[in-house]
Chain A
């Protein structure tokens, strides 16, 4: 229980777990541990209530929930960009008191510097760390290639489409070699085609980079398609409704996966679950 750790791509229906009252400490080696996080804005708006969560290492975990349920809030608390009202977050066992080098954030609105080229933007995390120019630009170039933007190094953000800008944001996060990537609805501002392409690329990067990805979305299909584990948040105040491990067999082509019965069943199941608690 509480294990987001199943590796076996069981062909059975998705494992659906009730929200654990206490997380199972024996369940492997979570890289991020969230304990009793509550967040109130301005004393009155309760955005999150009593969140307990373990994020397994090297997996893609999704935070799924309706708009305004506190997904961004939770992600920013884990990133150290927001202070929780109570509770604590531990990363690799150490308490989070602010941003750290082992975490990198991909922003929903890209947060690219309009006056800087793609290359400088991608290498900006390294620039802030004082990495010499040559070295950081080499690393920047490498990750720009990795996210499929080779040839755009000297362009400015306003010359790129939304999807491409988000790729720059992803390259910037990858370039600092953080263990945990926190992605806040990275696909929300891009069209459906780009979104699918981006999803493929993300899956490839997850397999290749061996990093932990914590990913926020409000799309059920996207969550099921991408995730090893889905954490479903309920409406405000956000609470963990349940945790699902889709265990989709990703050996087939994207189209095969999207037609896969198991995939479709899982999407359907989440839909039903959502309806239960929306009503």
Chain B
């Protein structure tokens, strides 16, 4: 019973079939996307170069000056050393927030009781201006690593938890009915349906949480004690090394963007393989 009735748009087999057209189109779009991205980055750097050379402000270095400063700071080891310091509270805080946030979010989505207790806390925390609260942390936890980890968590945790919660709440009810009709156990329901179905929104929360974590760690380094990248930024500003200052800022932004891209990759590879190549 070979069907041709369903339309040739999804014939199996070779990629050059009619189905291949779709895939090729998607690939071409992906390639086009990459091209557009590169073009937009080039345009941005070009504008930066022009703005730096005009110059719009003596404190605004050109792109090339910043790039050279970046190279020098890599060579003399000051940038890698600063990253090593900054990454400690960042990674710790983000990992703690991811584990706690996803579990809390999923539990809030699954259990009314947990939702009732925890959801308001996260909602309040998400609404609060965290930057204003970070100095308070030092009263309790001093100025060490703990305070900085806490600063990261305060920014990252609420958004991760609330996204997990929302994701689980919005799991496709028809998939749940399907799992029930095939007699899934409660555990199978969570692991095989709820988590995978919720994973795009959970990961969106993780990405937001990770970028909030970056904000948290830099704020902590600027507000609590100058260390790592925060220190590098403060230091170079204080001695008017603007190219170095911008190089530090740009490097942390770049690093953050890379982390987010890696996270996206993890999502497609482990949770949503159907999105691969799209």
Which B residues between 175 and 211 are near A, CB-CB below 8 angstroms? Answer: 175, 177-185, 188, 192-193, 196-197, 199
Q: Counting CB contacts under 8 A, is B76 at the interface?
A: no
Indicate with 1 or 0, residue by residue over B249-278, a CB within 8 angstroms of chain A CB atoms.
Answer: 000000000000000000000011110000
B10 touches A125 (CB 8 A): no
B274 contacts which of A98, A149, A156 (Cβ < 8 Å)? A156
Q: Beyond A148-B1, A155-B10, A163-B6, is A79–B181 a contact (Cβ under 8 Å)? A: yes
Main SS class of interface, B: helix
Q: Are B177 and A107 in contact (CB under 8 A)?
A: yes
Q: Which of B216-254 contact A (CB under 8 A)?
A: none
A111 to B10 Cα, complex, angstroms: 19
* A115-B273, A155-B12, A156-B274 known; A161+B6 contact, CB < 8 A: yes
8 Å CB interface, A168-206 against B: 172, 176, 193-194, 196-197, 201, 204
Cβ A107 vs Cβ B174 within 8 A? yes
Min distance, Cβ B197 to any Cβ of chain A, angstroms: 8
Asked if A113 lies at the interface with its beta carbon under 8 angstroms from chain B, I say yes
Give how many A residues have a beta carbon under 8 Å from the other chain's beta carbons. Answer: 46
A128 at the interface (CB under 8 A from B): yes
What CA separation (Å) do A164 and B199 show in the bound complex? 26
Say yes or no: B182 contacts A128, CB within 8 Å. yes
Taking CB as reference atom, which chain A residue is nearest B183? A99
Q: Is B19 among interface residues, defined by CB-CB distance under 8 A?
A: yes
A159: nearest chain-B partner, CB-CB: B10
Q: CB-CB < 8 A to A115: which residues of B?
A: 196-197, 199, 271-274
CB atoms of B5 and A197 under 8 A apart: yes
Partner of A152, one of B12, B178, B181: B12
Residues of B within 8 A of A158 (CB): 274
- Report which residue of A81, A111, A172 has the largest number of chain B beta carbons within 10 angstroms of its beta carbon: A111
Question: Which residues of the other chain, A, contact B193 by a CB distance below 8 angstroms?
Answer: 113
B178, A105: Cβ atoms closer than 8 Å: yes
- Asked if A124 is at the interface of the complex by the 8 Å CB criterion, the answer is yes
Contact across chains for B10 and A160 when beta carbons are under 8 A apart = yes
Q: What is the minimal beta-carbon distance from A158 to any residue of chain B, in angstroms?
A: 6
Chain B residues with CB under 8 Å of A125's CB are: 182
User: Does any Cβ of A come within 8 Å of B2's Cβ?
Assistant: yes
A159 lies within 8 A of B183 (CB): no
Residues in chain A within 8 A of chain B (CB atoms): 76, 79-81, 98-101, 103-105, 107, 109, 111, 113-115, 124-125, 127-129, 146-152, 155-161, 163-164, 172, 176, 193-194, 196-197, 201, 204
List 7 A-B residue pairs with CB atoms under 8 Å apart, sorted by A's residue number: A81-B177, A115-B196, A115-B199, A128-B188, A148-B3, A163-B3, A164-B3
